[in-house]
Structure 1
Amino acid sequence: MSLKFRHFKEDTRKLFASAKLWDYHLKQVEGNFGSGVHSYFTFLRGLFLLSIPSFILSFSFISIPQLLDPPARNHPEVKFTGEELITGANWFTETIMYYGYYTNGTIQTIPGSVYKMPLAYLLATAGYFLLCLLWLVKSTATSFRKNYIEAKEDESDFISKVFCAWDFGITSDDASKLQHTMISTELKEILAEKRRHKESRSSAKKCKVFLYRLVTWMLYLGITGGCMALVYFVNKELLNKIKIWGNIGYQISLALIISAINLVMPIFINLMTHWEDYKYPRHEMYIAVFRNFLLKLGMLAVICAFWTDGNLKSTHTNQTASCWETDLGQEIYRLVIIDFLFTIIFATFCAEFIRKLLTKCIPSLKLAEFSIVNNVMDLIYGQTLCWIGIYFSPLLSLIIIVKYFLVFYIKKVSVMQNCRMSTQRWRAAQSQTLFNAFLLLSFLLCAAFLCVVVFLETPSYDCGPYRGLNRSYDAIIIEFQRLASDESSYWFAVIMNVISSVWFLYSIVVVLSTAVVLVRSRSIGYRKFAKALREQIALEGQDKALLLQWL
């Protein structure tokens, strides 16, 4: 009975695995282009699925209640011209798209019911960030355990692929050919990795490589600092021109400059990294990803610092009544749209499709190789924009969902039709962990920025759900004070005060620290036990080989 149940459980697991979104497309990509390109599309699928709960939370708990009880317009109604699809301004400004449209009061669509928009706005955003944190931690931990702790790259890795990689449940010829191609590609990657591992370098070669890397790092840091300074200068110069003229050219100038830097600089960074002559292509990819990550996040950090700093000055001098939250949301919207257009037009159509047409006229020109580094960093950059902008534009996640959906199919078709397999064989199973780690770091930075906005920054005094408050977080404090004064909610207020106290937080830190020490100790013990088992298996193999010689 237990055996039948295990078979049923395994069949059910395979059924759900086969029903995963875009599963067949991912197998096609892996079979033809290897695990590196496959890891990009797997990463894209994960981000697409992660964006869906964001839209559901924002639309259900923030946008729909406001649609049921729309506030009075503060400005004359503006006609829709079509420019709004690119700029995100004008007609979109007075809609549920942005922070400034939402009321700071209560919504009463049903008699006797009260829906407090300030609380809903904060709690829905916090709920989404908590969901993202759980998903990222789980995904990163699972990938790390699978690819770094459990996986051991030795001779048995190649043997297991040869004897155990085939799926005997395959029945169709197409699936059989696809599985054959996948195994063949992965075996080539393993052999290439083993071959490079045996290569050795002389002392002179190592010294030369060290000097190369020192020069390239200094050059990279100088260029990155220059790009960040350029973004700050352009943002400062364009701010007044946008307010005075409202011209579409001025509105999208900053997004065009940043997208152009993101398009050109990764190519230069990849050339610098390739010039450093890393032994393994995987290490070269790691360094290139890290450099692209710093560049993209650095420019976004400049934008965020500029707007929060400008807000502090304006609130102290009372020289402007602009809704800076909506302005920042519009800037993030433009960055998302322009980045998508650059990805499709330049990175895909021009760099891959046009190059394929040129290969027919120029025989020496080869098809483009799919750049895993550039495309993965584009995904992390796009998701970072979503995390920064979700507070200022609750419906931005819908734009991100549509973007990811279109990018997946456009990139998949372009890869299959316009690209060639990379000349470098490298194993990319561990790259998924790296991508998740960078995504987690990006998430933590975005969460820190939004915490600064909620807990420290002064909201605009004439727009948004927190107008009239010194901090957005004051909405929760006011609600706690109201509950404390209400006799029916007294114990709830007492419990919340205990939870928010410093001593409660200290106790949580102590408990978590103790848990970390215990888990770390268990991890070390399991690692030693696994090492002992591997040594035992190796000794048993030697014993069997010796017995065969005696026979």
Structure 2
Amino acid sequence: MKKQKNRRRRKSLKTEMPREKRNMEVRKSTRNYKDIKHFSLTPEELERLKEAVDDRKKLIQVLRGKPWPMKKKLVTLRESQQFVEKYEGALGKGKGRKLYVYKVMMTKKWMKFQRDFENFRTACIPWEMKIKEIESHFGSSVASYFIFLRWMYGINMILFGLTFGLVMVPEALMGRPYGSIPRKTVPRAEEASAMDFAVLWDFGGYAQYSVLFYGYYNNQRAIGWLKFRMPLSYFLVGVGTVAYSYMVVIRTMARNANESGVGDDNSFNFSWKVFTSWDYLIGNPETADNKFASITTSFKEAILEEQESCKDDNIHLTRFLRVLANFLVLCCLAGSGYLIYFVVRRSQKFALDGLENHTWWERNEVNMVMSLLGMFCPMLFDVISALENYHPRVALQWQLGRIFALFLGNLYTFIIALMDEINLKREEENIVKFNITTWEASFYNGTVSENSTGLPFTVQPADVPRGPCWETMVGQEFVRLIISDTMTTYITLLIGDFLRAVFVRFLNHCWCWDLEAGFPSYSEFDVSGNVLGLIFNQGMIWMGAFYAPCLPALNVLRLHVSMYLQCWAVMCCNVPQERVFKASGSNNFYMAMLLVILFLSTLPAIYTIVTIPPSFDCGPFSGKKRMFDVIQETLESDFPAWFSKVFSYASNPGLDQTMSGAQCQKLTKNLAEQNDVFLASVHTAEPSAVQPLCIYEQNRGRKLRHEVTCTIIQFILQHFYTWKCI
């Protein structure tokens, strides 16, 4: 009877007392247990002990966010851990409690595995620690460039895998060997100089007649014992790389918009930075120095943001200076455009006279002028931007826009020059066709004596006349442009950053003025110029990869070397910017420019594929009227007749445009309905409920992106079918 009364009393205490008091009671009652193995607890006591252990575990998880002094946090953490370790094993005593012990053990092991896997995943991210170190010393704006470079490296690795695994390797292993047919043989007139360094540096000679360029590939439908469809694979890889690039860029932009769409609470910004910035788990002195530099940089960023928000300048003077700066920028753009046009016209005259009769500079004048303009014009724009007095983030976007216009004008001027060169090559191709017909007729009309015992007359592949192959010429021009731009960038880095830093460092003590504070001083890292260089190099890769499958491999090598070289240069030769800023929206701004360049780069490639007939004696599409005829040929040869009819009906321009328009309209309508729902929730909610408004703005941005994407898709479909009809 006495035991039953005690049980009832404990049960009533359990229902009446708050959880904190019950925890205190369990703690007091368990303090007297010297060894819990010698005691048999009642089911009620075990239940209370289990609840107490669970409460201590929850307290350990949320202890970091408690508004308690650090001493109290440490004492509570130590007591809670000891309590859990001491009494958690007691819950496994008795019948039916082994499952609980097993669950607790597996939970601990799973948490440890998650922590180890997260550390392993972080360690596997390429160059993560290098970028973190740069961010701690130079701020997030400089680190955003290296994050963008790492992202571009990953994209180019995928493109390299596609072209190398599905185009270059099958042709090298299963295709006809070198010297078997004319398109895979160096002409007899070029054999003497085919291995010269100057020829190979211009990607001529043996480099031209290799798997690096379009003209080497044979037009045989199936090659090797696998019956690999080389022309079909070449065409699908070219289309697939562009489609994959579109998908990745748009998805990355959407993910960045979703992550930055919901606003955060910026109240008490400096208090949060002062009291919560330090990481107390740091045990390495070097890591502590990096963290100290990172906190200092974040304070500079926050102070600058506050100063910019409170600035009150003379608005009329500011407007005049900004108009003057834009006028100077327009003059620079017009001058660079005229210079490129003049150089292109000179190069066409040199081509008509014969490039072998001119110097190295005259042969490479276009590439060198474009590289030099890309190197010096951003510096001039940076000097002009000092007149405008913009916020650093806004100034970076203006600088990016101006360099974007410069590079875009240079690139399209280069493309116009290539189009003129293609027309000249096609005229030369018609002449070669006539000469080949005459050359072949001379063999048929020849006479041989019946009593002749000599060897039969054979023609070596090196002696066969051949056309100019305008596709290989286009690929060579893009490869030369990439190589010259890369060399210019590295030379500028070594001279403009390294030698400048050495000069300032070792001659400062014996110079007439302070070299560090005055001219020339240490250089700052040019974020805008380097970002635009990456973007436009990638645009040239997308534009020329169809005619030079080696371009993704060259770009992977270039990005790999650039990461190490620029990380070393920025840490050893550069100083942090005087006006640092937080690059909150810069990554998506980079992606927007990359998407525009992707669209503008694919237009010339699509135009040449759809409208210009391929060369008659080189490349996988020789002998066809258009390059995309390989799709129709595959459908007719490898698929049943009904499938070809279904595909022709499905590729009807009217059906495709109708379906794409209906899908885009449906997406836009759904987003508009979501906006209306969230806007209604904003009107009915309290003034402090700002979350629906953030989601409304986010969905409005999504709607705008969907409308732009739909317009681009319909534009491509319309012009594709127009070119197809032509």
User: If the length of structure 1 is used for normalisation, what is the TM-score?
Assistant: 0.88
Partner of 2:451: none
Q: Structure 2: which amino acid aligns with 1:516?
A: T
Q: Structure 1, unaligned stretches of length 5 or more?
A: 540-551
Q: Using the alignment, how far apart are the partners of 2:314 and 2:483 within structure 1?
A: 50
Listed one character per residue, the Cα deviations across residues 441-478 of structure 1 (whole Å, up to 9, x for unaligned) are 11111122211111112222221112222221122223
Report % sequence identity: 21
Cα shift at 1:252 = 2.6
Contact 2:336 2:373 in 1 (8 A): no
Q: Using the alignment, how far apart are the partners of 2:296 and 2:241 within structure 1?
A: 41
- Residue 322 (str. 1) matches residue 464 (str. 2): no
Cα shift at 1:85 = 5.1
Residues 190 and 22 of structure 1: CA distance in aligned 2, closer, same or farther (over 3 Å)? same
2:489 corresponds to which of 331, 343, 362: 343
Q: Using the alignment, how far apart are the partners of 1:263 and 1:428 within structure 2?
A: 24
Listed one character per residue, the Cα deviations across residues 408-461 of structure 1 (whole Å, up to 9, x for unaligned) are 111111111111111112121211111111111111111222111111122222
Partner of 1:279: 390
Cα shift at 1:519 = 3.0
Residues 433 and 179 of structure 1: CA distance in aligned 2, closer, same or farther (over 3 Å)? same
- Residue 132 (str. 1) matches residue 245 (str. 2): yes
Q: Structure 2: which amino acid aligns with 1:240?
A: L
Larger RCO: 1 or 2 (CA < 8 Å, sep 6+): 1
Q: Structure 2: which amino acid aligns with 1:87?
A: D
Q: Using the alignment, how far apart are the partners of 1:436 and 1:215 within structure 2?
A: 28
Residues 8 and 249 of structure 1: CA distance in aligned 2, closer, same or farther (over 3 Å)? same
Partner of 1:82: 197
Q: Using the alignment, how far apart are the partners of 2:685 and 2:236 within structure 1?
A: 49
Cα shift at 1:214 = 4.4
Q: Using the alignment, how far apart are the partners of 1:518 and 1:203 within structure 2?
A: 43
1:144 corresponds to which of 233, 257, 260: 257
Cα shift at 1:522 = 3.0
Residues 218 and 55 of structure 1: CA distance in aligned 2, closer, same or farther (over 3 Å)? closer
- Residue 33 (str. 1) matches residue 101 (str. 2): no
Provide the secondary structure at the position in 2 that maps to 1:536. coil
Cα shift at 1:128 = 1.4
Partner of 1:361: 507
Partner of 2:292: 180
Provide the secondary structure at the position in 2 that maps to 1:90. coil
- Residue 66 (str. 1) matches residue 221 (str. 2): no
Contact 1:100 1:326 in 2 (8 A): yes
Cα shift at 1:323 = 1.3
Q: Using the alignment, how far apart are the partners of 1:529 and 1:274 within structure 2?
A: 45
Residues 530 and 16 of structure 1: CA distance in aligned 2, closer, same or farther (over 3 Å)? farther
Residues 494 and 352 of structure 1: CA distance in aligned 2, closer, same or farther (over 3 Å)? same
Residues 245 and 527 of structure 1: CA distance in aligned 2, closer, same or farther (over 3 Å)? farther
Cα RMSD after superposing both structures: 2.9
Listed one character per residue, the Cα deviations across residues 191-224 of structure 1 (whole Å, up to 9, x for unaligned) are 2012111112334224423432442343244224
> Where do residues 256-267 of structure 1 align in structure 2 (5 Å cutoff)?
256-267=368-379
> Where do residues 488-507 of structure 1 align in structure 2 (5 Å cutoff)?
489-502=640-653, 503-507=655-659
Contact 1:100 1:463 in 2 (8 A): yes
- Residue 106 (str. 1) matches residue 221 (str. 2): yes
Listed one character per residue, the Cα deviations across residues 88-129 of structure 1 (whole Å, up to 9, x for unaligned) are 22221100111111111134321xx42222211110111111
- Residue 198 (str. 1) matches residue 310 (str. 2): yes
Partner of 1:307: 418
Contact 1:455 1:473 in 2 (8 A): yes
Q: Structure 2: which amino acid aligns with 1:225?
A: G
User: If the length of structure 2 is used for normalisation, what is the TM-score?
Assistant: 0.68
Contact 2:153 2:556 in 1 (8 A): yes
Partner of 1:352: 497
Partner of 1:295: 406
Provide the secondary structure at the position in 2 that maps to 1:439. helix
Q: Using the alignment, how far apart are the partners of 2:215 and 2:614 within structure 1?
A: 10
Q: Using the alignment, how far apart are the partners of 1:531 and 1:91 within structure 2?
A: 72
Q: Using the alignment, how far apart are the partners of 1:520 and 1:174 within structure 2?
A: 52
Residues 521 and 422 of structure 1: CA distance in aligned 2, closer, same or farther (over 3 Å)? farther
Bigger mean CA offset, 288-297 vs 176-185: 176-185
Partner of 1:269: 381
Q: Using the alignment, how far apart are the partners of 1:180 and 1:19 within structure 2?
A: 25
Q: Structure 2, unaligned stretches of length 5 or more?
A: 1-102, 433-466, 509-513, 692-726
2:153 corresponds to which of 48, 53, 60: 48
Bigger mean CA offset, 199-208 vs 443-452: 199-208
Bigger mean CA offset, 12-21 vs 455-464: 12-21
Cα shift at 1:481 = 3.5
Q: Which has the larger radius of gyration?
A: 2
Partner of 2:553: 398
Partner of 2:663: 511
